[in-house]
Amino acid sequence: MIPNLARKYSMVKRYREIIDTLLKYEFFYLAEKLGVSKTWLFKTKIKQKYRSRAAGLSRPERARRVLEDLGPTFVKFGQILSTRRDLLPTKYIDELEELQDSVEPFEFDQVKNIIKSELGYNLNEVFISFQEKPFASASIGQVHIATLFDGTDVVVKVQRPGIKSRIESDLDILYNIAGFLEEYIEESRYYHPKEIVDQLARTIRSELDYTQEARNANVFHNNFKNNPNIYIPHVYDKFSTRRVITIEYIDGIRSNDLKEIEKNEIDPNKIVTYVTKAFMKQVFEDGYFHADIHPGNVLILNNNKVALIDFGMVGYISKELRYALIDSLFLITNRDIPQFLDLLRDFDIISGHMDTVALQQDIEFLMYKYYGRSVDQIDTPEMIKETFSILRTHRAKIPPNISMLMKAIVTLEGFGSQLVPNFNATVIAEPYAKKLIRERVRPDKLAQGAFTELINVIRAVRKFPAQASHILSSAEKGEFLINLELKWLQQLVYQINTASNRIAFSLILSAIIIGSSLIIQTGIEPHFWGVPVIGLVGFLTAGILGLVLVIYILRSGHF
């Protein structure tokens, strides 16, 4: 009972921190949606109190500051949103990519206690030396440089104490907020808040488990063990757990340190080519790619060799999706719009309720822009951004792994452009794409695909009698229901009701006019200026009602 009360109190306190941070950066609309009073006096006081914190900052900058102030869960939330160009405008994406995840380091005594708890040994029983001052400190953990007893230099990442419970509490709050948004704010449903929080939960829980990062690094190490130009650091599994990971230390030049690159006579073209080829191998051959290739994760070694580090964020792309990406590029450059739309439907990116005519027009304009261009003439990041902008406008739903891949490609292009002006990753990707196409049409692959389809047909045929029997049985019991959605039915019913009301109104008006005319002809008393009063009242009423009807019709615009 007491732990539950303490947890609820902690969540209420955290909610208050979130609301306070939103107000601090003048996100009053969001705060109001979450239940804050709308009174002008309250808003005025808050504005006066926090005006200096938000002054001079754009809305995207304020959004980034909110996430940074709220800590690791929200920073990671922003990093995930930065991969979703289908949801946010470019100015927000660009700002979220600048999110900083750095905090004050925790005490060294806590580091020693965690290592003792996780590895079962004291610090001096595992490492001959261990730097007390962290090499880097982030919200989830911090990194120390150490040396094993065999003389190998390593980096040791230690998870921050209490961070797991803090993140789980934040996830509960985000799930509550997402549920509230979907239930009460209709415009938010397009963004699928619960699905975004699901993606965040999977990602951040994976990052909290350092054994997952170790597995990722081992996969990449195995995939590139025969590549003379790419080096993946060794993971010491014996000294790695869920909260501690020990990896070989790489002493290299950061790939954005242009002075050191020039000083050591390093060829930037080779570096960019090696990294890009490595990425294309990951995407087109392995289906397992490093999703965060920025200069800090690319180190240059001797003889122009390149080391890739930090495997906390990786993406997976299936063989089917790899084929689809090749198809989409071919269809865009050849302006085959119907086939491109079919491809989007196959992956549930677009659905039947969309205005496909408008979508087709926008895609046609995009295709016209790139039609007939050679590979080296295509600005890949720009084309990706334009494509996502169109899909966002038409509220298409992009799978997270595709969004992550597109962000990784844009990041790679940015990395390459820093070292080599006019860098174009598409040129390097071309041979890998052609190789995948050749593989796809190989006789054995075609036979394998045909065999798979045959198996699917056989399974469907086997299941059909049972499914048909179930449908007939349900129909006999009166349990067979058909959900039929008629598009615009509600609007049609409204229009019919409106028209019916107007007709009824007009008939009543006509009856009043005819009745008043008959009364005047009969000369029924009393009279006013020789005319029956009842008839005059009838005509006056008919005139007023007629005027109301005319005004209503004119205002509706349907006449």
Name every residue whose Cβ is closer than 8 Å to that of residue 427 and which is 6 or more positions away in sequence. 375, 376
Cβ neighbour number for residue 479 with a 10 Å cutoff: 8
The string of DSSP codes covering 311-358 is: -SSEEE--HHHHHHHHHHHHHHHTT-HHHHHHHHHHTTSS-TTS-HHH
The string of DSSP codes covering 271-303 is: HHHHHHHHHHHIIIIISEEES---GGGEEE-GG
221: left (phi over 0), alpha (psi -120 to 50) or beta: alpha
Handedness of CA 412, 414, 415, 416 (dihedral sign): positive
What's the CA gap between 291 and 303, in Å, rounded? Answer: 26
Helix (H) / strand (E) containing 531: strand 531-532
Strand pairing category for 244-248 and 230-231: unpaired
Helix (H) / strand (E) containing 407: helix 400-419
Largest CA distance in the chain: 124
What's the CA gap between 365 and 335, in Å, rounded? Answer: 9
Say which of 109, 150, 209, 292 is annotated catalytic.
292
Helix 425-440 and helix 268-281: axis angle, to 10°?
30
Cβ atoms of 14 and 173 within 8 Å: the answer is: yes
What's the CA gap between 542 and 416, in Å, rounded? Answer: 79
Task: Tell me the β-bridge partners of 230.
Answer: 306
Cβ atoms of 230 and 253 within 8 Å: the answer is: no
Task: Give the CA angle between residues 18, 21, 24 to the nearest 5°.
Answer: 155
Cβ atoms of 279 and 245 within 8 Å: the answer is: no
What's the CA gap between 435 and 428, in Å, rounded? Answer: 12
Q: How far is CA 256 from CA 59, 261, 294, 323, in A?
A: 29, 8, 9, 33
Cβ atoms of 96 and 81 within 8 Å: the answer is: yes
Q: Is 292 a catalytic residue?
A: yes
Q: Which residues are catalytic?
A: 292
